Amino acid sequence: MFRCISKPILRTEKIVKILVAITGASGAIYAQRLLDNLNPAQHEIHVVLSHYAQQVIAEELPAGLQLPPGVIAHNIKSMNAPFASGSNPPDVMVVIPCTMGTMGRIAHGYSEDVLLRAADVVLKEKKKLILVPRETPLSLIHVKNMELLLLAGATILPANPSFYAGAKTLQQLADTVVSRVLDHLGIANELAPRWEREKE
Ligand SMILES: Cc1cc2nc3c(=O)[nH]c(=O)nc-3n(C[C@H](O)[C@H](O)[C@H](O)COP(=O)(O)O)c2cc1C
């Protein structure tokens, strides 16, 4: 019998600079729900989308991506974003959902657009990089890239929703993943039910 105990959640008090990077993996809803649950009045929130993210968003989000007021969007082709430089990194970068392509490019230090450069900056400046990959099955190349990223200090938080909480909608199911992302950002949330006690 397994037992899950709720972990204490860190509470953030200072303004944290958060970069949300969205790539062309299935699961655009994860990015939308993360943005819906970040507060631009409390944190500085930046967003950047890969070219293919736009295609997947068009397939998966009927209303398109909704950026909450106060969120700062950046052009992936411009290096004129603050986080392109190690002198102004975000505190946390989340790549959600993360393709195997972007994961591989980050693992191998490609920096040809501002999303990849930001990930490179976050790793070298020892800030927090959270990757939310979505792919199945995984090849050895994917797993080796994940190993490299773990060794470099990244957090790999796969988009694997949990079913024990009885989600009834796609949003509730997506929130079981987004809740864990918020936990790793140190943002208190009750987005998804937590396993609290052993059931006899
Ligand atoms: C509808 C759709 C769903 C996709 N889902 C995935 C996926 O779940 N994981 C993945 O690694 N690639 C997926 N791809 C392929 C990527 O979009 C493609 O490899 C692209 O080059 C990734 O570029 P990016 O990493 O810059 O976003 C999907 C593509 C489309 C059109």
Q: What is the pLDDT along the chain (200 residues), one digit of tens a residue?
A: 334 344 444 444 567 999 999 999 999 999 999 999 999 999 999 999 999 999 999 999 999 999 999 999 999 999 998 889 999 999 999 999 999 999 999 999 999 999 999 999 999 999 999 999 999 999 999 999 999 999 999 999 999 999 988 999 999 999 999 999 999 999 999 999 888 766 66
pTM (two decimals): 0.92
Measure the CA–CA gap between 18 and 127, rounded to whole angstroms.
Answer: 11
Which residue's CA lies nearest to atom 3 of ligand 1? Answer: 26
Ligand 1 pocket test, pick from 51, 52, 57 with the greatest ligand atom count within 8 Å of Cβ, gives 52
Asked if 30 contacts 176 with a C-beta cutoff of 8 angstroms, the reply is no
Measure the CA–CA gap between 25 and 47, rounded to whole angstroms.
Answer: 16
Q: What pLDDT score was predicted for residue 165? A: 83
Of the candidates 27, 52, 75, the one whose C-alpha atom is nearest the C-alpha of residue 181 is 27
**d(CA 11, ligand 1 centre) in Å:** 34
Measure the CA–CA gap between 154 and 107, rounded to whole angstroms.
Answer: 10
Ligand 1 and 101: CB distance under 6 A: yes
**d(CA 153, ligand 1 centre) in Å:** 24
- For the CA of 103, the nearest atom of ligand 1: 25
**d(CA 198, ligand 1 centre) in Å:** 39
Cis peptide before 68 (omega within 30 of 0): no
Ligand 1 and 128: CB distance under 6 A: no
Ligand 1 and 24: CB distance under 6 A: yes
Q: What pLDDT score was predicted for residue 13? A: 52
- Alpha carbons within 13 angstroms on the beta-carbon side of residue 52 total 12
**d(CA 16, ligand 1 centre) in Å:** 29
Ligand 1 and 54: CB distance under 6 A: no
How many other CB atoms are there within 10 angstroms of residue 10's CB atom?
12
Ligand 1 and 195: CB distance under 6 A: no
Q: What pLDDT score was predicted for residue 7? A: 41
* DSSP three-state, residue 30: helix
How many other CB atoms are there within 10 angstroms of residue 84's CB atom?
19
